[in-house]
Amino acid sequence: MRFRFGNRAQIPLWEKILLGVIPFLFAALLYNHFATQRLIENPRDKVLPSVSKMYHSMSEFVMKTDRHSGKQQFFEDLKASVISLIAGISVAFVLALFIGITAGSYPLINALVMPIITVFSAIPPAAIVPVLFMIADPGYELSILFIFMALFFVLVKDIVNQIHKIPRNLNTLLFTKGASELELGRENLYMILPGILQSLKINLPLVWFALLYGETLGAQNGLGTRIFILKRFSANDIIFPYILVITLIAVTVFYGIEFIIRKRYAWYNGDEK
Amino acid sequence: MSSDTFLIKVRNLDVIYGEKIVLKSINLNIRQGEIVCFVGPSGAGKSTLLRHILGEEHPRIGSVYVNRQKVKGPNRDMGFIPQSYSLFPNHTALGNVAQGLYLDRCSFGKNLMYDFLKLFKIKTPFIKAIEAEALACLEKVQMQEHAYKFPHQLSGGQQQRVAIASALSMKPSVLLMDEAFSALDPETKMSIRENLLELKRTNNLTIIFVTHDLDGDVPALSTRLIAVTRHYNGGDHTGAKIAFDSPHPLANEDLSLSERIASPQTVAWIARVKHECFDPNYKQDEQAFTLEHPDALPQTHIVLEETII
Amino acid sequence: MNKFLISILSMAAAATLFASECELTLTTSAYVNWNAVNASKKAGLYDAIEKENNCRLKIVYYPDYLQSLNYFSTGSADAVTVTNLDQMTALASRPSVSVVLQDYSNGNDGLISRHGKSVKELKGQDIWMVTKSISEQLWVKIAQKEGMDPYRDVTIKHMDLDSNLRAAYDAGKINNIVTWNPALEYLVQQTDSHKTLASSADFPGLIVDMIVMGKNVADFDKKAALLRACWDRTAEVVHAGRGKDYNAFMTAIADDMGSSLGEAKTMLNGAKIFTPTEETDFYAHELPELQKDTYKLAADNEFLAESVSYDLNGVKGGDKATPQSVFFEIH
């Protein structure tokens, strides 16, 4: 008998797709309903533009070149945001791995760094913008710093937590295999790497938020910068497609990480015999 | 006989967790080549004693010596097979065995380099040699065909076999097992015991294991049985002690496993042990053999002499 | 945020007391003459007017200007305090009518520089501002007056919030900014070496602050009359410059802006608040030309997300600004 419910339930692919599409359909219908209603009341309404209006505005916007630089604004924005994302995520991930692994593996370092990390992680970056201006220049630097701050502390705490959850037997085993204290950190790294990727995947929404906020602090190009400039005009016919682009990047990164975990770390989700 | 021939020595070991006294005045001598099993009621402190010998926990009172060295922590001279998490989930069976070889032979930097090479599946002669050696270790426990499977793809018995191969690849002087086979079915247990006995014969390995299996592991594998039981003084638990230390009646006979288990002498011994160990009201009768091992030490505080150490 | 909460709470409390059917929602933000509306309300200057007009004025205050504009655009508020430029650009999505001209900026917007001694010296440097706003409008005017190209001779850099502009300037990361009060006043007072190189005082009547109402608001005339009367009362008190009401008002506005009484006075002086005669004169003689000019500037420099049409059908030369007068209308 096949289980229809419960966390081991096997659902055929077509049912999965159908179930997945229903909420989107519902959201689209709801949007269309309210958009139409608003447009009847006020044909100039920009709060909920119609889909065709969004399509036309966006395709026009994508083709348009900036009158001063002569470049296509949309691609400049996309490029800037992607660079900030890659830089911010990689710096946060690599540094968090380094600090997290050492703090998780060596109690002395843990005692040194964890209190300050715990305190700093509680500070919302947006609340200390004047201080951040002193650390980084407005523009790319601040966007990257924001992404870094959003991600770094969460990851460090999670890495330390995951290392502490490694069964003690495995630590003992390592020493009986002749591992040094230094090797302990290295082996711990390999054991938790997929877990940290998983954690990164789950914490990605923090990154999108940080990217948008960071870009308001003086980035001249960027998806977030454009959204906030256009917000002045309530130009949702371009803002919504921009959000769609961000969503697409988000979904790609999300499934990209999932793909890496599945391919490279098959043992992590190891279920199948 | 000089006391220097003892491979493992435990002297006046007290283990106290907070207010709770777990072990009290443990004294123990174990020779090379012995297969010692720790038995006793659950929670008495068998595993604690084992983990102190292993060095996973450090005694505040008393000391443990292996190879005349004070034990400072788990090290490469000891093989360890726990009941659970005996393998690294991120390595294949082969990887688990090879892991120890790399750690033992390479510096941290070299290991990083080999990790990098392995990432791109580049095989240097050194990597090939290590893998061949690991495969040979797996062959000894009949696991060569599962070499490239991850632990989650192996059954419990297969996992413990790999754990044995992994521990023995290091050629340790002592093998410590903490209820390593409790969760396995009788047939698997039997074949793993055969494996161990074979390895013991060829390497003169010393094995210490904790078990509940008085009818299987003890009569089949052990040469010596140590019962750790709780000790009460007027209702207060004053820490577990070694209740008795008994040689296997057929310790020096060359018999098959099933013969050892089925022998009337073994059966009588086990029956006696069960009473002694688990029935405090039992009064010693006219059994034909002694429970006193020749190497047994008094389970009270003994004065340490330099010569003993 | 606290102020916002308090205003919301006091609204809720007043709502239970008044229980009048007519309620006008005005959304405002942090700017001295818009704080003036807030402060008048708090000082109780509007109590009698509200009773007389049998209509309650509800103020939704945002520290951030754009938030208040968006709040109005979505249709959540009946009226909003806005500049003449932003009515054409930011509010383009909701047909609106300006019902009160409050003042024109007379030094409340300006260009401040850390090192520069004159506007010409800024050639080749970065100038930071909230782009597509009155700041950019002002900069274009300043540059044109100095005979510079506003976009080629300097690099215009965008920062989203004026509070961040101020923070970045404070941190020493940016050197030239175009911003408005209270930030301007705050930065000038930091040190003597920071100079206001140019300000809206050089362009009287360029940046007009006003209260606009959505065209689709129910009871439009009644509510417009309420706004008219309320602002007239505030203007009257400010122009009187003394008395019990004035003192209560000044205390409230200083409190509202988080500044001292002296600073509040300076900032109030930074805007030329119209007397009723001046207001009538201004819309009759200067507004038509100003709006044409402003529209052209906005269109030339892509301030408008898309073109909007407008007309000045309400402007009838010489009329006294009656409560119902319509100055300027966005279609």
C305 to A235: CB separation less than 8 angstroms, yes or no = yes
* Residue C139 domain-assigned (yes or no): yes
Residue pair B297/B28 in contact by the 8 Å Cβ criterion: yes
* Residue C5 domain-assigned (yes or no): no
Tell whether C210 and C297 lie within a shared domain: yes
A186 to B112: CB separation less than 8 angstroms, yes or no = yes
Tell whether C116 and C99 lie within a shared domain: no
Per-residue pLDDT reduced to its tens digit, B31-65? 888 899 998 888 888 888 999 999 888 888 888 98
pLDDT of C315 above 50 = no
Per-residue pLDDT reduced to its tens digit, C234-274? 988 988 888 888 889 999 988 888 788 888 888 888 888 88
A175 to B75: CB separation less than 8 angstroms, yes or no = yes
- Place C172 in a pLDDT band, splitting at 50, 70 and 90: confident
Amino acid at C144: Q
Are β-strands C109-113 and C195-199 bridged in parallel, bridged antiparallel, or unpaired? antiparallel
Nearest CA in chain B to A181: B108
Residue pair C65/C182 in contact by the 8 Å Cβ criterion: no
Chains in contact with B, counting 3 or more C-beta pairs less than 8 Å apart as contact: A
Tell whether C79 and C228 lie within a shared domain: yes
The 8-class DSSP code of residue C275 comes to P
A41 to C167: CB separation less than 8 angstroms, yes or no = no
- Place C320 in a pLDDT band, splitting at 50, 70 and 90: very low
Residue pair B57/B51 in contact by the 8 Å Cβ criterion: yes
Q: Which of C176, C202, C228 is the last residue of a domain?
A: C202
Q: Which of C177, C202, C227 is the last residue of a domain?
A: C202
Per-residue pLDDT reduced to its tens digit, B232-291? 777 677 778 887 888 888 877 777 888 888 888 888 888 888 877 766 665 555 455 566
Tell whether C149 and C93 lie within a shared domain: no
Task: Kindly give the interhelix angle for A73-105 and A107-121, rounded to the nearest 10 degrees.
Answer: 140
Residue A129, C-beta contacts closer than 8 angstroms, at least 6 positions apart: A217, C164, C167
Residue pair B270/B217 in contact by the 8 Å Cβ criterion: no
Q: What is the pLDDT along chain A (273 residues), one digit of tens a residue?
A: 556 677 777 778 898 899 999 999 999 999 999 999 988 887 777 888 888 888 988 888 888 887 777 888 899 999 999 999 999 999 999 999 999 999 999 999 999 999 999 999 888 888 888 888 888 888 889 999 999 999 999 999 999 999 999 999 999 999 999 888 889 999 999 999 999 999 999 999 999 999 999 998 888 899 999 998 888 888 888 899 999 999 999 999 999 999 999 988 988 887 554
Using DSSP's 3-state secondary structure scheme, residue A106 falls into coil
- Place C322 in a pLDDT band, splitting at 50, 70 and 90: very low
Per-residue pLDDT reduced to its tens digit, A93-148? 999 999 999 999 999 999 999 999 999 988 888 888 888 888 888 888 999 999 99
| Structural domain boundaries enclosing C274 | 21-106+206-330
Tell whether C25 and C151 lie within a shared domain: no
Chains C and B touch (3+ CB pairs under 8 A): no
Quote the pLDDT of residue C318.
34
A138 to C92: CB separation less than 8 angstroms, yes or no = no
pLDDT of B147 above 80 = yes
> Tokens for C287?
């507004």
Q: CA torsion sign, C73 to C77 to C78 to C84?
A: negative
Quote the pLDDT of residue C3.
57
- Residue-by-residue DSSP string for C77-137: -SEEEEEHHHHHTTTTTS-EEEEEEEEEESSSEEEEESS-SSGGGGTTSEEEE-TTSHHHH
| ipTM above threshold 0.90 | no
Beta strand extents in chain B (DSSP E only)? 6-17, 20-31, 35-39, 61-66, 69-70, 78-81, 174-178, 206-210, 224-229, 232-233, 236-237, 241-247
| Rounded CA separation B99/C61 (Å) | 65
Which residues is C198 bridged to in the sheet? Answer: C111
B157 or A10, which is more confident?
B157
Mean pLDDT (chain B) is 83
Are β-strands C310-311 and B20-31 bridged in parallel, bridged antiparallel, or unpaired? unpaired
Tell whether C163 and C290 lie within a shared domain: no
A169 to B84: CB separation less than 8 angstroms, yes or no = yes
CATH no. for residue C135?
3.40.190.10
Quote the pLDDT of residue A271.
59
* Residue C13 domain-assigned (yes or no): no
pLDDT of B116 above 80 = yes
Residue B279, C-beta contacts closer than 8 angstroms, at least 6 positions apart: none
Q: What is the mean pLDDT of residues C269-289?
A: 81
- What distances in angstroms separate CA B56 from CA A169, B72, B74, B132, B167, one per listed residue? 9, 9, 6, 31, 16
Per-residue pLDDT reduced to its tens digit, B13-26? 888 888 888 888 88
Give A266: exposed, middle or buried? Use CB within 10 Å, 0-12, 13-18, 19+.
middle
Nearest CA in chain A to B72: A175
A179 to B103: CB separation less than 8 angstroms, yes or no = yes
* Residue C225 domain-assigned (yes or no): yes
A57 or B183, which is more confident?
A57
Give C205: exposed, middle or buried? Use CB within 10 Å, 0-12, 13-18, 19+.
middle
Tell whether C259 and C123 lie within a shared domain: no
The 8-class DSSP code of residue B204 comes to T
Q: Which residues of B touch A169 (CB under 8 A)?
A: 80, 82, 84-86
Tell whether C186 and C210 lie within a shared domain: no
Question: Between A and C, how many CB-CB pairs are < 8 A?
Answer: 91
A267 to B151: CB separation less than 8 angstroms, yes or no = yes
* Residue C267 domain-assigned (yes or no): yes
Q: Which residues of A touch B80 (CB under 8 A)?
A: 169, 172-173, 176
Q: Which of C168, C183, C202 is the last residue of a domain?
A: C202
Task: Kindly give the interhelix angle for A73-105 and A51-63, rounded to the nearest 10 degrees.
Answer: 90
* Residue C1 domain-assigned (yes or no): no
Chains C and A touch (3+ CB pairs under 8 A): yes
Chains A and B touch (3+ CB pairs under 8 A): yes
Is the minimum CB–CB distance between A267 and chain B shorter than 8 Å? yes
- Place B305 in a pLDDT band, splitting at 50, 70 and 90: low
C312-317 long-range Cβ contacts below 8 angstroms, 24+ apart: C312/C287, C312/C288, C314/C97, C315/C283, C315/C284, C315/C287, C315/C288, C316/C284, C317/C284, C317/C285
Tell whether C153 and C281 lie within a shared domain: no
Q: How far is C277 from chain A (nearest CA, A)?
A: 33
- Residue-by-residue DSSP string for B241-272: EEEEEEE-TTTTS---HHHHHH-HHHHHHHHH
| Rounded CA separation B160/B141 (Å) | 10
| Rounded CA separation A201/A258 (Å) | 8
User: Which of C66, C90, C159 lies nearest to residue A138, judging by beta carbons?
Assistant: C159
Using DSSP's 3-state secondary structure scheme, residue A12 falls into coil
Quote the pLDDT of residue A198.
94
| Rounded CA separation C260/C254 (Å) | 6
B85 to A182: CB separation less than 8 angstroms, yes or no = no
Domain count, chain C: 2
* Residue C11 domain-assigned (yes or no): no
| Rounded CA separation B53/A252 (Å) | 52
Tell whether C99 and C223 lie within a shared domain: yes
Residues of B156-173 as b/e, b for ≥16 C-beta within 10 angstroms?
Answer: ebbbbbbbbbbbbbbebb
pLDDT of C7 above 70 = no
Q: How far is A270 from chain C (nearest CA, A)?
A: 48
Quote the pLDDT of residue B138.
92
Tell whether C212 and C311 lie within a shared domain: yes
Quote the pLDDT of residue C118.
87
Tell whether C113 and C135 lie within a shared domain: yes
Which residues is C98 bridged to in the sheet? Answer: C212, C328
Query: How are the residues of chain A apportioned to helix, strand and coil, as percentages rounded to the nearest 5?
Result: 75, 0, 25
Q: What is the mean pLDDT of residues B1-30?
A: 80
Quote the pLDDT of residue C326.
44
* Residue C41 domain-assigned (yes or no): yes
Question: Between A and B, how many CB-CB pairs are < 8 A?
Answer: 83
Q: Which residues of C touch A47 (CB under 8 A)?
A: 73-75, 93
Mean pLDDT (chain C) is 81
C158 to A220: CB separation less than 8 angstroms, yes or no = yes
| Rounded CA separation B30/B208 (Å) | 9
